[in-house]
Amino acid sequence: MENASGGMGGKVVLITGGTSGIGKAAATALAAMGAKIVVTGRNRERGERAVEEIRRESGGDEISLLVADLTVQAEVRRLAEEFEERHDRLDVLLNNAGVVQSKRTETPDGLETTLAVNHLAPFLLTNLLLGLLKRSAPSRIITVASEAQRWGKLDLDDLQSTRKYRGMPVYGMTKLANIMFTFELAERLRGTGVTANCVHPGAVNTNFGTNNSGLGTLLFRVSKPFMRSPEQGADTVIYLASSPDVEGMTGKYLSDRKLITASRQAYDEDLRKRLWEASEELTSLEVAA
C-alpha cells in the first residue's frame, strides 16, 4: 500500500514501546503512509490489542508485534535477532520506549532501571541492528529524548545513581545520555547513509510516569489536561521518520520540527566518547572499531 502523503510504501519501521502513547501514534501515522510497522511491547496480550487498533485506525495491514522486556539485555539481543530473522531491511529505527521512576530499582541484570531502559536498551539495540540499517541505507535512527535533559547531569563515576537517587534528575540524565548517544552515533555513521537524530516531543498526556508515587506524580496528574495528545507529541517523530525534507540530516536535536540546542554536556566530545565506552561495558557490547 503506497501513499503519496508520505511515500513510506515498502519501508520497514521498528518502534520500541509502540503499543501506547507516542510510539503507537507514530506507528498509526506511518502505517497509514504505507510503512510496514513492527512494534515492541512487554505484554503479548496488550501488544496484540494495540496492533489491531493500529491496523483499524491506519488502514494498514502490515503491522506486527515483537514481545521483549527492555530491562533485560538478553531480551534486547533476542529482539534484534528475531527482527533480523523476519525482515531483510530496516528503514527507520525509532527508539521510543522509556520509564521514569520515583524510587531506585535494579533490573534482573543488576543495573539501575531508568538508565537500563532509557539509555542502555536503545544503545544496545541500535548497535545490534547497525549492520541491517547500513544495508538498508538511506535509513534513519530516531531517539525520543526530552527537555528533562536540562535537569540531568552526567556523572560517569556514578552512572547507576548508587550515591543519590532522585527520580526526575536521573530521568533527565538518561535523556541527556540519549542526546549524547545520538550525536556520537551520527559522527560514527558519517558516510554510511544512516542518519541519527533525536527529538523532544513536548509534555505529552500518556500513561508514562503513572506507576510512581509522590509529589512529582501528583503534579504530573494535575497538569495532564494541559498536555499534548500523543498524536501531537508524535508529530516531529513522524516528520523525522518520513519527510524527504530531512533526508541526509544527522546529529540534530529537534522539537516542533525545529532544531534546538541541548545542554552543554551534550557537546563535550570527550565525555560523549567516554559515555559510549561505559555503555559498551555495561551492555557487554564488543563493537569492531
The CA–CA distances, whole Å, from 94 to 6, 23, 36, 141 equal 17, 8, 13, 6
Per the residue annotation, which of 165, 171, 239, 267 is the catalytic one? Answer: 171
Tell how strand 139-144 and strand 194-199 pair up: parallel
Which set of grid coordinates corresponds to residue 120? Answer: 542502555
Beta strand ranges found along 3-147 (DSSP E): 12-15, 36-41, 63-67, 92-95, 139-144
At residue 151, φ and ψ (nearest 5 deg) are: -90, -5
Which set of grid coordinates corresponds to residue 77? Answer: 539481543
What DSSP string runs through 132-184?
Answer: HHHHT-SEEEEEE--GGGGG----GGGTT--S---HHHHHHHHHHHHHHHHHH
User: Nearest-CA neighbor of 133 among 65, 209, 54, 80?
Assistant: 80
Per the annotation, the verdict on 239 as an active-site residue is no
Residue 258's DSSP bridge partners are 255
Rg (CA), the chain: 18
Residue 140's DSSP bridge partners are 92, 195
The CA–CA distances, whole Å, from 73 to 79, 142, 161 equal 10, 20, 19
SS (HEC) of 96-116: CCCCCCCCCCECCCCCEHHHH
| Residues assigned a catalytic role | 171
